[in-house]
A and B are shown apart, each in its own frame.
Chain A
């Protein structure tokens, strides 16, 4: 395992992300709700550059069992990563794919050391 300083931790605001090349591999680094995360820039769907997608929110449904109506809410703002190829959604905080538990982002350890954002591969 090797450690890589990507940038200063304070260079990323909440909801920011960037893609860097480490050891010849494209890695996306994210700051989501105060946490730092790193994922391989590769979508489990068809290999698209998932980390180059936009980070936004998404919809969530709540069913009222009495009326059988759905309430749709916009949630997880600045937390849902959407692959630019086919719009698959991933929770950038957990790496989970939102529509299937068969897929997830390939995660790497990310942490702050002495003010730097460090990713381990």
Chain B
């Protein structure tokens, strides 16, 4: 991160706290090794970079390699991750409270026992190697949907960790049922019992959506993939009445952008009128559930030819539904100023809500 922009960015956000809802602990080999050290055999060997070559550790969807000039920060910097977060995000971009998650891809693993074992190792690494080292960090524990009962036990195991504020689902992979499937109720129950918030993060490993996977190039696939997974999760949760079943839960949707939200609200409203008898447990319009119970992280914010159109989109969605996120350290991250130029057209209170206030409410942050 260029140091000359650092002071400028910090000054821009000096008057407001910034919570970054989507900070990835990259699942680089040093982190994988730490996870493997916390796993039992036979699964530890599968996850350990020293014992298993990369192509066998994780199934790959065959994505193109990062393009020139787009190396992720974690590839290029060679620094311990905590130091990178501190230098790049906190000092560089002016983020006061990073909320960390680990994209460990556990639900891309076809061995459920390994997915559960790796989920536990990942969560221990998140707490012991990251959260325990900085009081300003918060974390989302990794959740696997493959074995909901054991995942609920994992939520109970870590429910007392003060800096764990929610559960993180890397959503849209082969080994997952739709987000709202009733088999997941034990997970939602455990989250509700432990005052934790579910967060569904879009999946680059978009194995379930073969019609997207088969698109011709990264431009085409990435245009649709990010919004797809969180739209599917949103629709599934509402269509199964999960917000009614768990009235104390809010739902966070991450890395899908937000420009499609007006469409989805109107579309679901229309389908509700036509198919109400399928979902008689809904007490209000789908749009109202989205407005009342869902939050959406802004990254990757859409870029219209006429930038004023984004303000109009945000007007429709309402700033109360938005959470700021960078997606650090990935190449398609958003600098806080990317969304702030639109937020400055709202009131100061609305701007503060998006940059930090909504996140404090969504995750019950005690900061």
Contact = CB atoms under 8 A, between A and B. Distances in A.
Given A68-B189, A69-B182, A100-B285, A63 B245 contact: yes
A68 B273 contact: no
A87 B274 contact: yes
A89 B276 contact: yes
Contacts of A69: 182
Interface in A64-101: 68-70, 72, 86-89, 98-100
B241 A100 contact: no
A99 B245 contact: no
Contact of B281 (A58, A61, A86): A61
A59 B279 CA distance: 8
A98 B276 contact: yes
Contact of A88 (B274, B280, B285): B274
Nearest to A65: B245
B245 A59 contact: no
Chain B, interface residues (CB within 8 Å), range: 10 to 19
B243 to A, nearest CB: 12
B185 interface: yes
Given A68-B185, A68-B189, A45 B273 contact: yes
Contacts of B244: 63
B277 interface: yes
Nearest to A75: B280
Contacts of A61: 241, 280-281
Contacts of B274: 86-88
Nearest to A72: B280
B185 A88 contact: no
B285 A70 contact: no
Given A87-B275, A99-B272, A58 B280 contact: yes
Contacts of B188: 68
B238 to A, nearest CB: 13
B246 interface: yes
Given A98-B276, A99-B272, A100-B273, A68 B281 contact: no
A99 B276 CA distance: 6
B246 A68 contact: yes
B148 to A, nearest CB: 13
A65 to B, nearest CB: 9
Contacts of B241: 61, 63, 70
A99 B277 CA distance: 9
Nearest to A73: B280
A35 interface: no
A60 interface: yes
Contacts of B282: 99
B281 A88 contact: no
Interface in B273-301: 273-278, 280-282, 285
Contact of B280 (A45, A59, A100): A59
Contacts of A63: 241, 244-245, 281
